[in-house]
A = this chain, B = another copy of it.
Amino acid sequence: MSANSAFGTVWGLGLGPGDPELVTIKAAAILKRAAVIAYPAPEDGDSFARTIAAPHLPGGQKEIAIRMNLGDGAFPKDDIYDHAATAILAESKAGREVAVLCEGDPFFYGSFQYLYGRLSGRCPVRIVPGVSSLMACADAAGMPLTARNDVLSVIPAPLPEAEIARRLEDCEAAAIMKLGRHLGKVRRVLQKMDLVDRTRYVERATLGSEKVMALAEMHGESAPYFSMLLVHKRAEAWGNRSMAATSRGEVS
């Protein structure tokens, strides 16, 4: 790092699925010392990433809120990342460490990759992996995601119905992410494939408001952004224990 001694490191900081206790020791140490934090935030309202980080912030940091339309299925415009990268680069050049707060892991469907592409080669950028919602949802459901030589498919729900069906065809387990307004469509696909009874719905895993239920019990056409379906095509993976018991991840 001698060549960069004037620069502050920019950290892509994975903060995990929501429970502030699931922040890693490494991420917590960086939150404690970073002069600047930057985070995605809705156009109006609180940033979920900042909420996860909050208990670990000593206070007094400079804050860069990257406001964007986090609405269903929208991808933010390039200029939002251009502006944010410019602001972050200025802090790095001034010798200040910048922690970019990321829900889950920075590189697993994370928007940090768009900042990474703009900042790499211009300042030191490092990644701290975080607990992903993919694992947290399976753990919350009390149901192993994958065993032995299972193939897992991770499928975004915004894909067209026929594509979701095709991608579900050849795997032992699947996680269907980014449900939002696509829940109804995905349920229809699973009904046609006779997989509804093999599917669990998990919402806000690791948070106080966490919900786990069989998809068959979940009605409506939409779901929050922070929700996921877990499909286990092998019957033995589903097991015989009651949903209620496994959904608490704890059995008496």
Beta-carbon contacts under 8 Å, A119-148 to B: 120-122, 124-132, 134-136, 138-140, 142-148
Q: Once the chains bind, are B167 and A167 in contact (CB under 8 Å)? A: no
Query: CB-CB < 8 A to A9: which residues of B?
Result: 250
In the complex, A134→B44 CA distance in Å? 33
Query: CB-CB < 8 A to A109: which residues of B?
Result: 146-148, 150
In the complex, A14→B143 CA distance in Å? 15
Tell me, rounded to whole Å, the shortest Cβ–Cβ distance linking A232 to chain B: 12
Query: Which listed residue (B23, B135, B251) contacts A132, Cβ 8 A?
Result: B135
* 0 or 1 for each of A24-38: is its CB under 8 Å from B? (1 = yes): 111011000000000
Given known contacts A121-B251, A139-B105, A166-B170, A147 and B246 CB-to-CB distance under 8 angstroms = no
Query: Which listed residue (B116, B121, B126) contacts A144, Cβ 8 A?
Result: B116
Query: Which listed residue (B21, B24, B108, B239) contacts A138, Cβ 8 A?
Result: B108
Query: Which listed residue (B131, B145, B154) contacts A107, Cβ 8 A?
Result: B145
Query: Is A235 engaged at the interface, CB distance under 8 Å to the other chain?
Result: no
Q: Once the chains bind, are B167 and A131 in contact (CB under 8 Å)? A: no
Q: Once the chains bind, are A135 and B158 in contact (CB under 8 Å)? A: no
In the complex, A120→B245 CA distance in Å? 9
Query: Is A41 engaged at the interface, CB distance under 8 Å to the other chain?
Result: no
In the complex, A117→B147 CA distance in Å? 12
Q: Once the chains bind, are B167 and A156 in contact (CB under 8 Å)? A: no
Q: Once the chains bind, are B151 and A155 in contact (CB under 8 Å)? A: yes
Q: Once the chains bind, are A4 and B153 in contact (CB under 8 Å)? A: no
Given known contacts A22-B25, A131-B131, A252-B3, A149 and B139 CB-to-CB distance under 8 angstroms = no
* 0 or 1 for each of A162-185: is its CB under 8 Å from B? (1 = yes): 000011001100000010000000
In the complex, A147→B156 CA distance in Å? 10
